[in-house]
Chains A and B, each alone.
Chain A
């Protein structure tokens, strides 16, 4: 059974800090891993997609890494801002656009 776990469940940091969100998955035979952001009551916004052959992807202040052998991915956010406050979800794709999601990390960046 494919399971995706995200740690921590919640995180509160002061503005300007660099932070790391963790995602682990039980089955290493993945196609892709995608990080999303979700604001309260809203849909999901795609942040980064890492294909199985890649080790990392970067977009602005965000960097996501993938280690298939250990079943882990991290999302690094540099110089956090209050606008980064949201829930961050990790999703692992095993086949045919079928994604397994973690429960998310709720991030609060304090001004």
Chain B
């Protein structure tokens, strides 16, 4: 049984650099979500895909953020020109259409120096 996987688990970058994270959902899960969690807070919704279509984006997702799910399987989240305020845990979750449960991956912890 393979759950949601995320890579890398940790990323340290300098301010102004671009970073890309990958999420592999549970197979046959057609919905995929990205959340961001800062220290001491609950996760905040960023964006959501159904198959390859990006159906909703939070206003938290500035123009520097872009997410894709080109073939309806894995997804990538790219942050351009990173800022120190982008430091957070980026969580991916997936769910199967017709069910409510979202299964979360272990997250990618981003540190922007």
Q: Do A and B come from one complex?
A: no
